[in-house]
Structure 1
Amino acid sequence: MASKNSSTFSVLGSDLAIKGDIKASADLHIDGSVEGDIACTSLVQGETSKVTGAVEAETARLAGTVDGSITARELVILKTARITGDVFYDALTIEQGAQVEGRFAHRNPKKTAAAAPKGDAKPELQLAN
């Protein structure tokens, strides 16, 4: 399974419970529970997963429970997700039935980029069926 591609994928199974922060330069799939902050490139959270802490990822697909803030460039919140905390995003998709208790804020990662016209940074919100 060795690949010359620098991208790797890590899986935390449903039988794992981790206390502590997770920092990964890889894609991460979590089915277990995590008490701590998570920082990774891409996060996929299973329905049975529970995260208590902040989540920061380029892309995140959440289906379980998150108790903490979420920051992602592309965020998908599935109908089984239960989120308590503020959500910061560039692009957001929420399935009907998802529960979120917190504030949504479109983030602007290039606040100092004066060359970008203000009209180009419109928040994108998609509602999925």
Structure 2
Amino acid sequence: MASKNNSTFSVLGSDLSIKGDIKASADLHIDGSVEGDIACDSLVQGETSKVTGAITAETARLAGTVTGSITARELVILKTAKIDGDVFYDALTIEQGAQVEGRFAHRDAQKAAQPAATPQGSKPELSVAN
């Protein structure tokens, strides 16, 4: 993991459209369109941005449209956001006026529910906790 003193900030402008997954060790600001999964340390999504795919971030501040699941330690959903997907969080702030279609679950609850999701008769998979 990069040191916070050497952190960088990447911006995807409103004129940019990306098809494919994005993985960034830097902080990411998206104003454009992304069709794919996003994994980064910190995500800021502008009002004009549209993301179709899963978002995984330590911190996320969402103001645009997201179609897909969101997993974040600290999540802020602004009033201009339109979310269609499940939301997994440790800390959550939602401004009045935000639109969310999906389930909310604290990440501890998500981790506890995972073993119960194994169908009977199938072999359990090996998983390593961080």
Whether these two folds match at TM > 0.5 is: yes
Work out the number of aligned pairs and report it: 108
Match of 1:62 in 2: 62
CA shift, 1:54, in A, is 0.1
CA shift, 1:103, in A, is 0.1
Aligned pairs (5 A) from 1:91-110? 91-108=91-108
Match of 1:26 in 2: 26
CA shift, 1:6, in A, is 1.9
Q: Which aligned runs of 4 or more in structure 1 are off by greater than 3 angstroms?
A: none
Q: Hey, which of these two has a bigger chunk of helix by percent?
A: 2
- Partner Cα distance (2:25, 2:6) in 1: 10
- Partner Cα distance (1:64, 1:33) in 2: 10
Q: Hey, which of these two has a bigger chunk of strand by percent?
A: 1
Could you list the per-position Cα deviations for residues 76-129 of structure 1 after superposition, in whole angstroms to 9, with x for gaps in the alignment?
Answer: 0000000000000000000000000000000029x69xxxxxxxxxxxxxxxxx
The secondary structure found in structure 2 opposite 1:96 is coil
**Cα-Cα RMSD:** 1.6
- Partner Cα distance (1:27, 1:6) in 2: 11
Give TM-score, length-normalised by structure 1.
0.81
Identical aligned pairs, as a percentage?
90
Structure 1, unmatched stretches of 5+, are: 113-129
Aligned pairs (5 A) from 1:1-129? 5-108=5-108
The secondary structure found in structure 2 opposite 1:108 is helix
Give TM-score, length-normalised by structure 2.
0.80
Could you list the per-position Cα deviations for residues 28-70 of structure 1 after superposition, in whole angstroms to 9, with x for gaps in the alignment?
Answer: 0000000000000000000000000000000000000000000
Which amino acid in the other structure matches residue 44 of structure 1? V
Structure 2, unmatched stretches of 5+, are: 113-130
The secondary structure found in structure 1 opposite 2:60 is strand
CA shift, 1:5, in A, is 2.7
